[in-house]
Amino acid sequence: MPYKYNGSRRHHFKKPTYRQTNYAEYNQSLRDRGRIDIWLSDDIIENWQTEQRAYDGTGSSPKYPDSTLMACHYLRLVFKQPLRQTQGFIDSLLKEMGHTNLSCPDFSCLSKRLSKLGLKTPKFKKTDKPDEYLAAIAIDSTGLKEFGKGEWHQEKHKVNVKRSWKKAHFAVGDEHIIHGAILTKKDTMDFQVVEELSKQVDVEVDHVSADKMYDTDDVYDALTSKFPESDIAIPPKGNLYADDAHNPKRMSNLVAYSALGPIRWQKKKQYGKRNVSENAMHRYKTIIGPKLHSRDFNNQQQEMMLGASILNRFTQLGMPESYRVA
């Protein structure tokens, strides 16, 4: 929450303590994240490669289906390996599993076909929760490093930063499932991708939250069109004024914000649900990594989508449930 009571004195407050209620289940889910059979299921092994290939003069049919390529890239991102090491790892893994007739696609195939996987939205969205569950969606973005020297190298050798990065935009449900993800160039503004991002959300939504950068009429129009019955919690910008030309929900937020003040407005609008988007970006950078491995932009888009799918799969395995004790 950006605004809190006694904000200037909160450094004197004791940090709250929480206790988990599902420690055993969550502990097992963390162990399951390293299991190979999560990514190499029987269905994938049975359709790993095509032995009979057609040669009709227009190019042979692909030896490896997209499911095999996805499984290889999942393992690559989970275990943080370069392409060549991924090939060696999977080859030895298939050999240990007794599939001596199968082989991993070579590293050049993994690289070239990454951009052709065609992932338009993160996978593994469905959970054990009922379908009629109404989700609260939080929208935010973060930067993923593309290339550049680290801080130690800059300070020691007195070199320029020369960094480059891309922006990852996420639409995250309050159950921590990433329903939408888009990778853009760094000069793309956050509010410009909301319409495309909301199209990826395939669940009913009753609450949408985002930070002040998304306070534009275009954002409200896009969210109202996609989720007409949802409550939108976006703090108004400081230079916003009341006008009939603005979106009605945006004006309603402005009036409530001015009347209640920032702290009471946050509590009334349940603005704290936006924390799930911050948590998702932290999980992505911690588990998948803060940088992109591919250099081609199309490959980077698919790589980010695969990373979001991995987080969804980990979320399905189990998340901690806790309550405050002090």
Burial string for 262-280 (b: 16+ CB within 10 Å, else e) reads eeebbeebebebbebbeeb
The pLDDT value recorded for residue 307 is 96
Runs of H (alpha helix) within the chain: 23-32, 42-46, 66-78, 83-96, 107-112, 151-157, 194-199, 217-226, 248-260, 262-268, 275-283, 297-317
The pLDDT value recorded for residue 134 is 65
- Name the pTM for this structure: 0.87
Burial string for 172-211 (b: 16+ CB within 10 Å, else e) reads bbbbbbbbbbbbbeeeeebbebbeebbebbebebebbbbb
The pLDDT value recorded for residue 67 is 92
Rounded alpha-carbon distances, angstroms, from residue 144 to 30, 173, 189, 214, 307: 25, 21, 15, 20, 12
321 neighbors 20 (Cβ within 8 angstroms) = yes
Q: 230: closest CA among 268, 204, 198?
A: 204
- SS3 state of residue 222: helix
Phi, psi of 57 (to 5 degrees): 90, -10
Phi, psi of 44 (to 5 degrees): -70, -40
Rounded alpha-carbon distances, angstroms, from residue 218 to 192, 212, 249, 258, 323: 8, 14, 12, 22, 38
Domain boundaries, the chain: 23-116, 135-324
Q: What's the CA gap between 97 and 93, in Å, rounded?
A: 6
Q: What's the CA gap between 267 and 256, in Å, rounded?
A: 12
The pLDDT value recorded for residue 128 is 47
CATH architecture of 135-324: 2-Layer Sandwich (3.30)
- pLDDT tens per residue across all 326 residues of the chain: 677 777 788 778 888 898 999 999 999 999 999 888 888 888 899 999 887 666 666 666 788 999 999 999 999 999 999 999 999 999 999 999 899 999 999 999 999 999 999 999 999 986 545 445 567 889 989 888 876 666 666 676 666 666 678 999 999 998 999 999 999 998 999 999 999 999 999 889 999 999 999 999 999 999 999 999 999 999 999 888 888 889 999 999 999 999 999 999 999 999 999 999 999 999 999 999 998 989 899 999 999 999 999 999 999 999 999 888 87
- What's 177's DSSP letter? -
86 neighbors 72 (Cβ within 8 angstroms) = yes
